[in-house]
Amino acid sequence: SALSPILNELEKKGLIERILDEHDRRQIIIRLIINPDEFMQERKDKIVEMMSTLSQEESIQFLNLLKKINEKLDNTND
């Protein structure tokens, strides 16, 4: 399935685990291993760290590009 490569990658990174269902061995339960709040905070910290290496002009350009991408994504969902 299209989901398998994504799950494989998440499993390799230690973010999820697969558990066989006790009642139906054909079913696999996907469980988060990490705390989602901690994970998001780590990501935010990394973004702040990376952004601090950019010049003010680069930061402005980057944020403007993100705004454009978000606008396009919003328009495609209509």
Q: What is the pLDDT of residue 65?
A: 96
Q: What is the average pLDDT across 11-20?
A: 92
Between 25 and 5, the higher pLDDT residue? 5
The answer to whether the predicted template modeling score (pTM) of the entire model surpasses 0.75 is no
Tens-digit pLDDT profile for residues 30-58: 999 988 898 899 999 999 999 999 999 99
- When the pLDDT of each residue in the chain is averaged and rounded to a whole number, the result is 91
For 25-62, what is the HEC assignment?
CCCEEEEECCCHHHHHHHHHHHHHHHHCCCCHHHHHHH
Distance of CA 70 to the CA centre of its chain: 16
Distance of CA 72 to the CA centre of its chain: 20
Domain boundaries, the chain: 3-34, 37-76
pLDDT band for position 27 (50/70/90)?
very high
- For residue 12, give the 3-state DSSP assignment: helix
At 73, which amino acid appears? L
